[in-house]
Copies of this chain bind each other. A is one copy, B any other.
Amino acid sequence: MRVDEITETELIARFAPMLPVGVRTVLGPGDDAAVLTARGDLVVTTDVLVEDHHFRTRWSTGADVGWRAAMQNLADVAAMGAVPTALVVALTLPPWTPVAWVEDLARGLAQACEPHGVGVVGGDLSAGPALSVAVTALGELDGRRPVTRGGARPGDVVAHAGVLGRSAAGLALLAAASEGVTSLPGGERLVEAFRRPDPPLLSGVDAARAGASAMLDVSDGLLRDAGRIGLASGVRLDLSRGLLAPGVDALAEAAQDVGVDPLTWVLTGGEDHGLLATFPPSVALPPSFHRIGVVVAADVPGDPGVTVDGATWAGPLGWDHFHAT
């Protein structure tokens, strides 16, 4: 059954019961706006996923897309040192979209949100020429100061929680498999990492409590996002190939299968949504964070904000949304 074969009310009635309520929700979907309890400053972020730009329906189920749309927003909340509380979702559906796909999307949103007490508290439906899922996430700081991108200082430790390059590896394996290059030997876990990135959401609060000086989630690749902290803080993050080696080695087999350098996945692969943070040298890193570099002074105006073992990386940096790089 397609979405244009039932009414909007009937469609909503099918997926609304699947959506989690959330622990901070006073009033959920169905009115002009949802109502949440708030106990102090809050954070808000939005991200949109568009079919054939951020996902392909032949490589990701509706539930995968729902999961990913939720997680990348929840990771943005976590990267401020906040606890995610609620999502709203604006959905654009071509008329031929299967109703089952929309139900599946709701299932994926719920799977991502429910374990974290996050409610899916509202939304909007529209017809349109392409599937698109615009999610806005809210979170609470519970009295803490937000951890921005701008607080890194020379001498700080650069550390990362979560995985690097896994989503990119999984996507490359899917692409290779679709061209018949490989039958994904041993790659199921990587494909799953692409379909269902599982960022360490609780590590954001841990980092804030430990005294992180800067933080973001790695959406567009480690180099590009590390450079963002560097530029916002007026410093340079110098990453260490040696400290990144365990993550690189874990991807070696898959990389060989598709003929790429696994270091490229680790440095430029996006969408794992791990947390990249800097910590003053005196701080004991929270257990989920691994040291991957050090903050140094920016040398000159136009400093790239990021280097690897002191050198500018020669390859592409990651994603820009209107250009292939």
Question: For the complex, what is the distance from the CA of A36 to the CA of B320, rounded to whole Å?
Answer: 28
| Chain A 1-45 per-residue mask, 1 if CB under 8 angstroms from chain B, else 0 | 001100110010000000000000011001111111111111111
Question: For the complex, what is the distance from the CA of A141 to the CA of B43, rounded to whole Å?
Answer: 17
* Cβ contact of A134, chosen from B7, B90, B150, cutoff 8 A: B90
- Residue A149 CB within 8 A of the other chain: yes
> A124: which B residues are within 8 A, CB to CB?
46-48, 134
In the bound complex, do residue A130 and residue B127 qualify as a contact, i.e. CB atoms below 8 Å apart?
Answer: no
Instruction: Quickly give the copy total for this chain.
Output: 2
Question: For the complex, what is the distance from the CA of A92 to the CA of B217, rounded to whole Å?
Answer: 22
| Chain A 286-318 per-residue mask, 1 if CB under 8 angstroms from chain B, else 0 | 000000000000000000000000000000000
> A269: which B residues are within 8 A, CB to CB?
none
> A58: which B residues are within 8 A, CB to CB?
none
In the bound complex, do residue A50 and residue B128 qualify as a contact, i.e. CB atoms below 8 Å apart?
Answer: yes
- Residue A148 CB within 8 A of the other chain: yes
In the bound complex, do residue A322 and residue B127 qualify as a contact, i.e. CB atoms below 8 Å apart?
Answer: yes
* Cβ contact of A148, chosen from B27, B123, B132, B320, cutoff 8 A: B27
- Residue A138 CB within 8 A of the other chain: yes
Are A3 and B46 CB-contacts (below 8 A) given A80-B31, A80-B35? no
- Residue A186 CB within 8 A of the other chain: no
9-residue interface stretch from A81-89, A169-177, A240-248, A255-263: A81-89
> A322: which B residues are within 8 A, CB to CB?
3-4, 7-8, 11, 93, 95, 127
- Residue A180 CB within 8 A of the other chain: no
Residues on A lying within 8 angstroms of B by beta carbon are 3-4, 7-8, 11, 26-27, 30-50, 52-54, 75-77, 79-80, 82, 86, 88-93, 95, 121-130, 132, 134, 136-139, 141, 146, 148-150, 215-217, 232, 320-323
Not counting A32-B215, A50-B129, A126-B321, a sample of 12 additional A-B residue pairs whose C-beta atoms are within 8 angstroms of each other reads A8-B320, A30-B232, A31-B149, A31-B216, A32-B80, A33-B43, A33-B77, A33-B146, A34-B44, A35-B146, A50-B126, A92-B132
12 A-B residue contacts at CB 8 Å?
Answer: A31-B146, A32-B77, A33-B80, A34-B45, A38-B39, A38-B40, A45-B88, A45-B122, A46-B124, A50-B129, A52-B129, A136-B136
